[in-house]
Chains A and B, each alone.
Chain A
């Protein structure tokens, strides 16, 4: 039974890991492919708008004559990059919170878990819309930074990390709680080790599995959040392509250019489902005792 599950889990991990790797490689190869095709993702070609697939443009062109395949790959690069960085940031925050909650227990734990549940329960999107719409200048951020191209990237990473840490926090807390009662930890405490040492040296390394699983699961969540915000025009702004913002105008052209709506969303779907399968499979593989959470 266990062997069967391990085998199944491994297949899930293998397949989804493979898909993600392929996507990442393709996205990273975007510049090379651009060179091969001889076009640039931003090159506007007014005379070949909405062209059908051809040798020069394997997937056709978009409404400004830009090569669709390249835009998808470039968009993938940015979406994946933002997804991973934001997920890592969220993981960092979530690990810290989960550790403190699980280790300290008692009222600190209760308060932090209430906070976590509170954030999970909030109507996130409307609040994110407000957060994304605020003027960075009013926060005291210098205008040069606030209006630079990178600003929209930083902003979306910060926003997503601010709300995406909950998955990691809960998993880490659960794992910390069970680790805390293990013998080697109790031994260390009995020997007089300071809490910080106990946490950093004994507990944290053993949290690797739950953290990896939680981070993988949250990458998918993060990519979905980024794509919704970009779709609404509040995330990554054009001309920087992202799968989300490539869909922003798609509703108006869906009647005569459905491919512009199909591909970006399909890629988001495939990426996120692969992340979820991967995380799920890893969980079964590394940490079969943990509950689905």
Chain B
């Protein structure tokens, strides 16, 4: 087991290193550079100033050299200086990470808490009203454009009814727990509704499959109670594919968070990365993207470990 984990960790680091080079190269392909933006804002800036500042910010060296310099610094914990936020890249990322973790965490827990029981119950009575509802919900969840869902919720709950705020993380002048929770309702709802669909489908399918198996018939024949059959035997086996799917969905959860944060002006990491890319703050964009990738790779690893632990038939190679 330990060997397996170690091997996978090494693989993860390798993938991360490759990704860092790829992303660094991609960012190098982005057009223009930040200094020219300053040109537009300052009527007195001359082009001689522009050339001087370009050299100052080190933008006139070839790509590979810049990557090696960046990688060297990154390995010692220095991810560079953020042009947009006037602080180190890490200092710009850290507070936003907490916000995104809260958003993603709440949605994750909520969508699992809703999807798993619903999926299991729907599987027990296929074709029933509950099953149809669950089916519809899951299809809707995977088909709805999340930014449109956000727009519609804002339209109904913030503009028309005025019950919930249209954006932001807290009301100005407040910021207490209740106020922050009030501001989280809509973003969490959007993210939850978007991810619930996939989990529901897999739970339901996995449960149906599990309920068809021989050991269930055996357990019933042996006189085990229905509840024990459902929650004891079938669930454990149904959860196996669900775990895989859940862990693989971290990536799309993060993407969903990016859209949600942008729609609700929620100061999280997704929005930070988006602003940094479009604002030419390469250091922050790079650090943020790598962090997101690391998060996802680690969750894959966790999935594999959990999968192996849950299913004794799988042997770890």
Touch between chains A and B, by CB atoms below 8 Å: yes
CB contact under 8 A between A125 and B142, given known A133-B30, A133-B277, A265-B152: no
Task: Flag whether B196 is at the interface (Cβ < 8 A).
Answer: no
Contact between A247 and B251, CB atoms less than 8 A apart: no
* Bound: A266/B26 CA distance, A: 34
Which residues of chain B are near A124, meaning CB under 8 Å?
A: 251-252, 255
Contact between A254 and B145, CB atoms less than 8 A apart: no
Contact between B151 and A265, CB atoms less than 8 A apart: yes
The DSSP consensus for interface residues of chain B is helix
Contact between B201 and A247, CB atoms less than 8 A apart: no
Which residues of chain A are near B273, meaning CB under 8 Å?
A: 126, 129
- Nearest opposing residue in chain A for B248, CB measure: A121
* Bound: A275/B144 CA distance, A: 12
Q: Kindly supply a per-residue 1/0 record for chain B positions 267-309, scoring 1 wherever the CB is within 8 Å of any chain A CB and 0 otherwise.
A: 0001001100110000001001100110111011000000000
Give the residue of A130, A227, A255, A276 whose beta carbon is less than 8 angstroms from that of B277: A130
Per the 8 Å Cβ criterion, residues 20-43 of B in contact with A are 23, 26-27, 29-32
Task: Flag whether B79 is at the interface (Cβ < 8 A).
Answer: no
Per the 8 Å Cβ criterion, residues 136-162 of B in contact with A are 139-140, 142-149, 151-152, 154-155, 159
CB contact under 8 A between A268 and B27, given known A129-B277, A255-B159: no
Task: Flag whether A161 is at the interface (Cβ < 8 A).
Answer: no
Contact between B205 and A228, CB atoms less than 8 A apart: no
Give the residue of B139, B147, B255, B300 whose beta carbon is less than 8 angstroms from that of A276: B139
Query: What distance in Å separates the Cβ of A108 from its nearest Cβ neighbour in chain B?
Result: 16
Which residues of chain B are near A160, meaning CB under 8 Å?
A: none
Query: What distance in Å separates the Cβ of A124 from its nearest Cβ neighbour in chain B?
Result: 5
CB contact under 8 A between A292 and B274, given known A125-B258, A265-B151, A273-B139: no
Task: Flag whether A183 is at the interface (Cβ < 8 A).
Answer: no
Contact between B143 and A123, CB atoms less than 8 A apart: no
Task: Flag whether A139 is at the interface (Cβ < 8 A).
Answer: yes
CB contact under 8 A between A125 and B31, given known A131-B26, A269-B144, A292-B202: no
Contact between A227 and B251, CB atoms less than 8 A apart: no
Task: Flag whether B193 is at the interface (Cβ < 8 A).
Answer: no
Give the residue of B29, B270, B300 whose beta carbon is less than 8 angstroms from that of A126: B270
* Bound: A224/B258 CA distance, A: 15
Task: Flag whether A190 is at the interface (Cβ < 8 A).
Answer: no
Task: Flag whether B259 is at the interface (Cβ < 8 A).
Answer: yes
Task: Flag whether A88 is at the interface (Cβ < 8 A).
Answer: no
* Bound: A138/B274 CA distance, A: 21
Query: What distance in Å separates the Cβ of A83 from its nearest Cβ neighbour in chain B?
Result: 13
Per the 8 Å Cβ criterion, residues 197-242 of A in contact with B are 220, 224, 227-228, 231-232
Task: Flag whether B263 is at the interface (Cβ < 8 A).
Answer: yes
Give the residue of A123, A139, A227 whose beta carbon is less than 8 angstroms from that of B292: A123
Contact between B151 and A272, CB atoms less than 8 A apart: no
Q: Kindly supply a per-residue 1/0 record for chain A positions 6-26, scoring 1 wherever the CB is within 8 Å of any chain B CB and 0 otherwise.
A: 000000000000000000000
Query: What distance in Å separates the Cβ of A79 from its nearest Cβ neighbour in chain B?
Result: 11
Which residues of chain B are near A277, meaning CB under 8 Å?
A: 139
Contact between B154 and A139, CB atoms less than 8 A apart: no
Give the residue of A138, A254, A258 whose beta carbon is less than 8 angstroms from that of B29: A138
Contact between A251 and B139, CB atoms less than 8 A apart: no
Contact between B145 and A268, CB atoms less than 8 A apart: yes
Contact between B300 and A121, CB atoms less than 8 A apart: yes
* Bound: A262/B285 CA distance, A: 33
Contact between B278 and A121, CB atoms less than 8 A apart: no
Contact between B15 and A269, CB atoms less than 8 A apart: no
* Bound: A137/B29 CA distance, A: 9
Number of interface residues of B (CB under 8 A): 52
Which residues of chain B are near A191, meaning CB under 8 Å?
A: none
Give the residue of B26, B151, B299 whose beta carbon is less than 8 angstroms from that of A247: B151
Contact between B151 and A254, CB atoms less than 8 A apart: yes
Which residues of chain B are near A120, meaning CB under 8 Å?
A: 248, 251
- Nearest opposing residue in chain B for A265, CB measure: B148
* Bound: A238/B159 CA distance, A: 27
Task: Flag whether B254 is at the interface (Cβ < 8 A).
Answer: yes
* Bound: A186/B144 CA distance, A: 44
Contact between A220 and B285, CB atoms less than 8 A apart: no
Which residues of chain B are near A292, meaning CB under 8 Å?
A: 201-202, 205
Per the 8 Å Cβ criterion, residues 266-284 of A in contact with B are 266, 268-269, 272-273, 275-277, 280
* Bound: A255/B151 CA distance, A: 11
* Bound: A259/B273 CA distance, A: 31
Give the residue of A126, A139, A231, A262 whose beta carbon is less than 8 angstroms from that of B255: A126
Contact between A137 and B251, CB atoms less than 8 A apart: no
* Bound: A224/B251 CA distance, A: 16
* Bound: A247/B262 CA distance, A: 14
- Nearest opposing residue in chain A for B25, CB measure: A134
Which residues of chain B are near A280, meaning CB under 8 Å?
A: 139
Which residues of chain A are near B145, meaning CB under 8 Å?
A: 224, 227-228, 231, 244, 265, 268-269, 272
Give the residue of B154, B205, B289, B293 whose beta carbon is less than 8 angstroms from that of A254: B154
Contact between A254 and B248, CB atoms less than 8 A apart: no
* Bound: A131/B22 CA distance, A: 11
Which residues of chain B are near A269, meaning CB under 8 Å?
A: 140, 143-145, 148
Known: A122-B293, A258-B155. 10 other contacts (CB 8 A): A125-B258, A130-B30, A134-B29, A220-B143, A228-B259, A231-B145, A250-B151, A254-B151, A269-B144, A273-B140
10 contacts between A and B (CB under 8 A): A117-B248, A118-B15, A123-B251, A123-B295, A125-B259, A126-B255, A126-B273, A251-B151, A251-B263, A273-B143
Complex A-B, nearest 4 residue pairs according to Cβ-Cβ distance, in ascending order: A265-B148, A135-B31, A125-B255, A273-B143
